[in-house]
Amino acid sequence: MIELRSDLSRKEQERLKPKPEDLIPLCLEDDYMKNKALDFVTYLRTTNKTKLVWCTRNGWKISYKGEILCRMGVSPKGWAKPIDPPSWSVRFVLVHINEYEKIIMKERLQEFIWDNVAHCGFCRSECGGRRNVIILGKEIKDIGCGGNPWGIAIGAPDEAAISNIKKLLELEKQARDENSD
């Protein structure tokens, strides 16, 4: 039997399929960050028809109506580089953003989106597939070639960021509901 640790290999985690509630306390040292991450998992688990499933090392996909709504990951100290602090992140794709664009603007969420658009590091340096796109009326430069331009990535979200994430996830779920009728 393998003991659950933050440094388990992907292959070991694939066998165990750990829950975020089990890994977050092992990966995150800061109580504030740990509590915010655990609270977010509770929110995801109690949200109607949202499914949270292990998908990669220290990462989970959250799906709604059979499609990925977002991904969540935790990274222990030194995850990518020895000096990296422990953290967690949420990355999501707003497939139906055009349908609730007016609500985003009314609630002043556009700055949050613009500030957190995910850029593909590989595309920025190697493949030449970079492109500029218009997101909520603003040109965003250097979006990667393979990604959806509405990819949003938030690392170590604070209370305000978590509130915005929840609003956007609920808007996306509502749009998916309206499109499935």
Closest to 105 in 3D by CA, of 133, 136, 135: 136
pTM, two decimals, is 0.87
CA–CA separation, 60 and 56 (whole Å): 7
CA atoms within 13 A on the CB side of 52: 20
pLDDT digits (tens, 9 = 90+) for 149-181: 457 889 999 999 999 999 999 999 999 999 876
- State the DSSP code for 156: S
- Domain borders along the chain are 10-180
Q: What is the pLDDT of residue 176?
A: 92
Confidence category of residue 124, pLDDT binned at 50, 70, 90: very low
* Helix segments in 54-158, DSSP class H: 101-106, 110-116, 121-122
Phi first, then psi, for residue 115 (nearest 5°) are -70, -15
Residue-wise pLDDT for 100-115, tens only, equals 999 999 999 999 999 9
